[in-house]
Structure 1
């Protein structure tokens, strides 16, 4: 039921819904179209009466960035990325926003209200190399927008070789956003991957967050036997040495720098075995 400044008619409308004699389960989904006359509160005041009649109530409004699933063309190009963008759960749309894949819903599918667009601000037109879609996506999250996806394929998305991102710029943006949104809330954490990507993340962190790194963890016996990663570029004396542990011996929370869908399911099984909650105990930064 779409509602826009309908307070004077809502009593009659909601009473008619309450009077329904349909014996099955019912849900009233109200979409508040930016009402300014108290319509939303009036509907909320009816919640208890509706629930007592067996009618569940959902009230929504303009508070999400909405995308959809896509078909990649030519078929088979960027296979892992396409699978990722199309299969994230609704919860993962909000937790897997730090990965190298970029926004968790693909930019050409975005819809949001004009009010939110004006509040977030326009795209950064700084020129070639500016990741304007990633910047806009981060600004949306900072403003409190949710992320939702219509689970239908509504776009054909063409791939070509000139789609080359500015990797260094995007890396810095991702690291800064991770530090702002996650690491600032943690007292300590483990980096899952003692290899190239994990060490690169460590070196990219600000000094305060570097000191929060309790350990690296891995499955590579050679890295684990070595015992430590020494930050050779550090100006500190003695140079920081970070323990390298087996993942079963490490403690949450984790920042995971392991690529998904690359180990035949082995990494995913290892992660599942720890019975952790994504968005609380770990975030992907692969």
Structure 2
């Protein structure tokens, strides 16, 4: 039985496959490796390219297992990943996207970490190709602390461990139950991530750059609508945080803060004691009236300066976008992240 199965779903990836599979062959990991590939209705040369690498994989001692289907339409990343996992026989799963490239020591580093943290999805740091792509996102994902892997799961950035760096036991994967197979437009990684946490799973990041994470307009992530992700984030925030709070303040009296308020259940809307901000124009209005509400009278929520507001806060302000002013304001209150405030930005 292989120790590690690399899970590689493929859909028309001929542009990147040579570099991707070469990074599999070049791994320094000395135990047994399996490469499990599922072709999701490929219509290009992807299968031919994989066959070209069979001898190199065999010489390296890597077992290749493949399957796929030829429907008119691909069934989606979640389906293809699940099928690749079903094919696999390894104790551990190393997820790899067909347009990405692993550093030579990726499996070695993450296998060691997974043994030490068996209940965790293990991720790693990464760099984008081309350089400078999604600069704010990359900085965030590579610099948040191990504790913030848990406290910042509600942000618009998605999972605090990016999917192309995931490494976990097959037992953990089966416990969660696999990826959602809804197809195009479904954030299957975010749904899996949240379910893993709800089941008491842990998170761990190897603080070493182990992956070249490619950025291009054909990436599957662009098929997922922001509104779909928003709804999942709000749902998870309400079940994991707001259900435990008696009252809270929304930090941002502008568009994003009001949108969050309108997205909440009536029960959680009633827990909002104020909006807070630094904008004098918003504060001078004194109140936000929820005109669309069916309640009578319409809810009227005070708008305060952040220094006058009470914690806990749900923060709807983007980080790293105000030349450090927001971060300084938040730090001045000497609050504890996860207890006194949650980032939802």
TM-score after normalising by structure 2? 0.65
Q: Secondary structure of the residue that 2:173 maps to in structure 1? A: helix
1:84-114 CA deviation, whole Å, 9 max, x = no partner?
0000001100100000000001101111111
1:170-212 CA deviation, whole Å, 9 max, x = no partner?
1100000000000000000000000000000000000000000
1:234 equivalent among 293, 297, 300:
293
Shift of residue 60 of structure 1?
5.2
| Residue in structure 2 matched with residue 168 of structure 1 by the alignment | 227
Shift of residue 284 of structure 1?
0.2
1:219-260 CA deviation, whole Å, 9 max, x = no partner?
000100100000010011110010000000000000000000
Q: Equivalent residues in 2 for 1:20-59 (5 A)?
A: none
Shift of residue 146 of structure 1?
1.1
2:153 matched to 1:97?
A: yes
| Residue in structure 2 matched with residue 203 of structure 1 by the alignment | 262
Q: Equivalent residues in 2 for 1:1-286 (5 A)?
A: 61-162=117-218, 163-164=221-222, 165-286=224-345
Shift of residue 161 of structure 1?
2.1
Unaligned 5+ segments in structure 2 are: 1-90, 92-114
Between structure 1 and structure 2, the one with the greater Rg is: 1
Q: Secondary structure of the residue that 1:160 maps to in structure 2? A: coil
1:107-126 CA deviation, whole Å, 9 max, x = no partner?
01111111111111111111
Shift of residue 157 of structure 1?
0.4
Unaligned 5+ segments in structure 1 are: 1-32, 34-58
Root-mean-square deviation (CA), in Å?
Answer: 1.3
Moved more, 200-209 or 153-162: 153-162
| Residue in structure 2 matched with residue 36 of structure 1 by the alignment | none
Moved beyond 4 Å, runs of 4+: none
Shift of residue 62 of structure 1?
1.5
Contact kept? 2:117, 2:204, Cα under 8 Å: no
Q: Secondary structure of the residue that 2:301 maps to in structure 1? A: strand
Q: Distance in 1 between matches of 2:117 and 2:272?
A: 40
Q: Distance in 2 between matches of 1:243 and 1:186?
A: 19
TM-score after normalising by structure 1? 0.78
Q: Secondary structure of the residue that 1:126 maps to in structure 2? A: coil
Contact kept? 2:251, 2:315, Cα under 8 Å: yes
Number of positions where the alignment pairs a residue of Structure 1 with one of Structure 2: 229
| Residue in structure 1 matched with residue 12 of structure 2 by the alignment | none
Q: Distance in 2 between matches of 1:100 and 1:161?
A: 19
